[in-house]
Structure 1
Amino acid sequence: MQVDDAVTAHLGQDVEVRPYEEFLSYLEDLVGTGLVKKDQPVLLGDKTSLAVVHALGEENVVTVPSPVAAMAAMKAITNSTEIEGFRQYHIRDGAALARYFAWLEEQLHNGVVLDESQRSDKLEELRSELDLFRGLSFTTIFSTGPNAAIIHYSPDPQNCAIIKKDQVLMSQTCCQYFDGTTDVTGTWHFGTPSEEEKRALTRVLQGHIAIDTAVFPTETTGYAIDSWARRYLWKDGLDYRHGTGHGVGHFLNVHEGPQGIGTRIAYNSSGLKAGMTMSNEPGYYADGKWGIRIESVVVVREIETPNNFGKFGYLRSFERVTMCPIQTSLINLSPLTLEEKKWLNEYHAEVESKVGPLLEGKDACALAWLKIKCDTACLIPLGRGSLARRVEQVVFVSIYVQECYCRYGHLYCRVFARQSPPWFLIAVKSRHQCASVPTGHAGLTD
């Protein structure tokens, strides 16, 4: 709850806090006691809910152009302190996500039966240990298999699905910290994903990258750039039935306006400006089968361009602040350009460098999980082939060990190996352990 005892004390005696459920009945009481009447009307903005008008009585209200739009436009542009808050709490939240998914993957590896509701509770428990945590911004959505195809699915603790390693898992988790609000969605698979699933996620990823790296004039609308996220899905005859992005508040509403990216005409009425914070969340949902979404919180920022036509000023679509790996075993490499692979490599390097230090000396399993998920060997070209094939097929001139770490009871080593320039990074597993390697990771038995 955001209005705690400290907030109530700060507001003082002149501010009365009541449960949200009592709002309409409270308005009706104002009319019944004569505090609101025809010659003492209430001014309502033109976007006020009709339920409020009915509660007060149409004869007791005067509708005027809403001042909320102007206030919302000002609130939408965050200041430097708020932006720094967005950066810092997402790093902390990234540590909780790494701890959670490391725990989840290990539980499944050990054959533990978990349902969608149990997964939600565990993540909230881990987040509650973090500094400045204030609770969820809305109910966590963990959905597996066909449930993931339901865009706004929410698990019923009494009747929810059991997670299966051979099904897609989608997680949308949002919470409140005193220095900001999160909204992050990831897609996972703990078995062997189908080619159809991999192709769809790759197209979603390309759209996500297109929005993240876009450059456009100041005041360009989210309506105008929405198709940049969808065009890769369109190539395969696919699409999604929700917006590409919405405004995100700073310790406020997880869905805010007026900024947003989508096909709604409302998104054509407010141009994007530096300092706005919003989500970037293309997806795809195969009805009755599975669903995919990649969502990050981003900050609109200015960028220097070689020219400044029309003196509009130009914006680099976004600074990404969410710190959660994207599962590379769900990616089909062939459609990705070199620039898209570079983007993914750089993002994972950033996640590991910022989140890793929060796990060192505190959670070795989560740190190892993060290192594995942020390794990018499978995305680096290697002559005629690539490390997407099994490493055993490659003959190396020389290798040397960089570091070793344990995961799932096995020993893994990061090494540099060289067939011909340049050097590239792989992971090597001890020959004394079983032959399995975590999904999406190149393996070499020595």
Structure 2
Amino acid sequence: MGCMASRAQREARFSSEEKQDLIEAWKDSAPGSAVETATRLDALRKNLRAKQLNAYIVPTADAHNSEYTAACDRRREYISGFTGSAGTAVVLLESAHLFTDGRYHIQASQQLDHDWTLHKVGQPQVDDWPQWLAKNLSSGMAVGIDPTLMSNQSASMLAPMLSKNGIALHYNHSNLIDQIWNSRPEPVFFPIYEHEMKYAGVSATEKISNVREWLSKQNSPSAYLLSSLDEIAWLFNVRGASIPCNPVFPAYAVVKVTGTHLFIDPRLVNKDIATYFASISVELHAYDDIWGWIKSNKWHDMQFYFQNDASVALVQAAGQDNARLLPATSPVAMAKARKNEVEQRGMHNAYLRDGAAWVRWAAWLEEAMANNEEIDERKAADVLQSYRKQDPLYAMESYDAISATNENAALPHYETPKSHGRVIDRATPYLNDSGAQYHDGTIDTTRTVHFGTPTYEQRRAYTRVLQGHMALAQARFPQGTTGAQLDMLARQPLFQDGFNYLHGTGHGIGAFLNVHEGPYGFSSSSGGSITPVALEEGMAVSDEPGFYEEGQFGIRIESVFLVKSIGTYRDFGGKWLHFELVTRVPISTKMIDFRLLNENEKTWLYKHNALCRHELLPMVEHDSRATRWLQRQ
């Protein structure tokens, strides 16, 4: 639909050198080693004194609460040196503090210099930053934050907590980190493009119409304001490349019964996409015009419906009386979560092709290790990505690859160095958690293998993780069941040995969108963390239990499923659901202690690997090494 040029024509506008420059810009902005922060802290504290502030909060997210942020928005990383994807920095006049959860305790302790105090949130007697501020600041003190970087929901909890102790919360509309960041990277203005109907399945016109239908049922003139970048990209069937790993772009969107508006930097809009927006009656505005638009419309008894993570700045612009915060299960979020038939078919196709790329890579790596070559973590990750890039529908990585051996694999969110890294050894498991963004699907796959002789402990841990993975994969459950209710299926086999893992069991996945999609998922720590969300037909979700022996080794197995309906004996009790396997990568059997498996588990594993062989062999028949490897699985 629309007048967008073909993908080949679109790509022709960017030379191979320009594309490589984009990739290198992302790499250069990727997490690095620890940095000295004293000079940066001194500059920030000078600003604090000028503003009469006693503390400044520096969150991870950008103005859209994105998980992956552009290099120019990584303010917390700049001021602290900590590169993890979750955490909050709090800078006082005499001290600096970093708060992060169990996924990053080890990494943060390694990256923070002596000017910082690490608060290991989740450990006994360790407060998160809001509680810590309330307890450690004195009455009469003031705390500052950029209101575009804090959700209204968080501000509504923080302000009363501080006020109770006589501490004021000040909103600084000029970001104090930006004022001292002399080398701040420039944004990436990669032109956005139409996500074609053969991949999207439903037109943007129909999606917008559904939002308008919802608005028409409200009691007063109203506007639906979107700030989450994946929801905006999904609604308009448009994708971009301004942010690493997620094919989205900075923008705000407003849908009214009488009109639709997109607020975006004009440098992201070329003639073709402008024509496309005109064809679906979307009015374009400059990105920063969102504030004036909201303020000019709020005087007309307009009710603004915001996503639950909308910034306090957006809500303030509308006015508290005019703002209505939607739950996590907002109309757009849930419509996006339920993949249509075209999107589901695209996911299957993407995972099948990606499975072939994985097999070719796995065969290369096994041969190299058998020949006693020294392959480091970065080279292993890069070679896998090189196979993926051969796919004509490849767009970008879907997240920073976790390629980890030895003790590095015990870090669930290990950051593989930009160059080199530890050489993969033959005494411990090797873990690869990586993915790609294809125009027809988003990939998230993890497999753990061993290139030597596994120890008894490694075998037992691997087997327990595999049993948890299989137990969840085989679940059948009634409609209305939440991921949190199924979480124990994956953990129970590990619990038998007193094992556990401190991350979520799985998360939602977008369709050529964010690799981590809410509001659904497994466990209270992944998707719908405040109010667990029932799984519905069409949702794509990952299954990724793990085990981590700190300082020794780590194991994780991750596959992706689609939620589908299924008939049951007598069809008793209404509609029932199950998981349809999407991932097509064999599961290694080398580390399995088969004495721990029951017959059902052995049968599931055999059928899984047989299915992978059957579907992938025709796709790798030109690669004799890959064919031999696959036949052995």
Q: Same fold by TM-score, threshold 0.5 exceeded?
A: yes
Given the superposition, is the C-alpha separation of residues 130 and 38 from structure 1 closer, same or farther in structure 2, using an over 3 Å criterion? closer
- Give the counterpart of 1:309 among 572, 576, 599: 572
Alignment-derived partner of residue 113 in structure 2 = none
Matched, 1:287 2:550: yes
Structure 1 counterpart of 2:445, one-letter code? V
The answer to whether the 8 A contact 2:470-2:604 is kept is: yes
Deviation at 1:189, TM superposition (A): 0.7
CA RMSD, aligned part only?
3.2
Q: Structure 2: how far apart are the matches of 1:6 and 1:226?
A: 38
**Hey, what does 2:627 align to over in structure 1?**
367
1:47 and 2:305 are equivalent in the alignment: no
Q: Report the Cα distance in structure 1 between the residues aligned to 2:290 and 2:615, rounded to whole angstroms.
A: 55
Q: Is it true that 1:299 corresponds to 2:299 in the alignment?
A: no
Kindly, what percent of the aligned residue pairs are identical? Answer: 36
1:358 equivalent in structure 2: 619
1:328 — aligned with what? 589
Cα pair distance change 1:88/1:108, threshold 3 Å: same
Compared with structure 1, are the counterparts of its residues 98 and 150 closer, same or farther at alpha carbon in structure 2 (3 Å cutoff)? same
**1:66: which partner in 2?**
326
Distance 2:460 2:558 in 1: 18
Question: SS in structure 2 opposite 1:315?
Answer: strand
- The answer for the alignment partner of 2:607 in structure 1 is 346
For residues 177 and 329 of structure 1, what CA distance do their matches in structure 2 show?
A: 31
Q: Distance in 1 between matches of 2:240 and 2:577?
A: 41
Kept after mapping to 2: 8 A contact 1:53/1:61: no
Displacement, 1:35? 5.4
Q: Do structure 1's residue 146 and structure 2's residue 400 form an aligned pair?
A: no
Counterparts of residues 135-174 of structure 1 (less than 5 Å): 135-158=396-419, 160-174=421-435
Shift of 1:86: 1.5
Q: Which residue of 2 aligns with 1:7?
A: 193
**2:505–2:544: 8 Å Cα contact kept in structure 1?**
yes
Question: Could you tell me whether the CA contact under 8 Å between 1:168 and 1:188 is conserved in 2?
Answer: yes
Q: CA shift at 1:18, angstroms? A: 9.9
User: Aligned runs of 1:76-155 on 2, under 5 Å?
Assistant: 76-155=337-416
Which of 226, 247, 272 is the equivalent residue of 2:535? 272
1:175 to 2:436 alignment = yes
Give the Cα separation in 2 of the matches to 1:105 and 1:133: 25
Task: Pick closer, same or farther for the CA change 1:78–1:208 going to 2, 3 Å.
Answer: same
Match of 1:218 in 2: 479
Deviations 1:227-250 (A, max 9, x none): 011000000000011111111111
Taking the TM superposition and a 5 Å limit, the aligned residue runs for 1:365-444 are 365-372=625-632, 374=633
Q: Which protein, 1 or 2, shows the higher relative CO under an 8 Å CA cutoff with sep ≥ 6?
A: 1
Q: How many correspondences in the alignment?
A: 366
**How much does 1:254 deviate?**
0.8
For 1:379-404, what per-residue CA distance to the aligned partner results, in whole angstroms no more than 9, with x for missing partners?
A: xxxxxxxxxxxxxxxxxxxxxxxxxx
SS in 1 for 2:614: helix
Note closer, same or farther for the CA distance 1:96–1:307 as it changes in structure 2 (3 Å cut): same
Q: Between 1-10 and 155-164, report the one with greater CA deviation.
A: 1-10
Q: Which residue of 2 aligns with 1:192?
A: 453
2:389 and 2:497 mapped to 1: Cα distance?
Answer: 41
Task: Show the counterpart of 2:200.
Answer: none
Deviation at 1:141, TM superposition (A): 1.1
> 1:224: how far off?
0.6
CA contact (8 A) 2:193 2:239 kept: no
Give the Å deviation of 1:329. 0.8
C-alpha change, 1:303 and 1:175, in structure 2 (3 Å) is: same
Q: After superposition, what is the alpha-carbon deviation per residue over 1:211-270, rounded to whole angstroms, capped at 9, x for unaligned?
A: 111111011111111001100000000001111111111111111122211134935532
Q: Which residue does the alignment assign to 2:259? A: none
Determine if contact 1:247/1:260 at 8 Å carries over to the other structure.
yes
Counterpart for residue 258 of structure 1: 519
Deviation at 1:131, TM superposition (A): 3.0
User: Shift in Å at residue 160 of structure 1?
Assistant: 2.1
Tell me the distance in 1 between the aligned counterparts of 2:394 and 2:241. Answer: 23
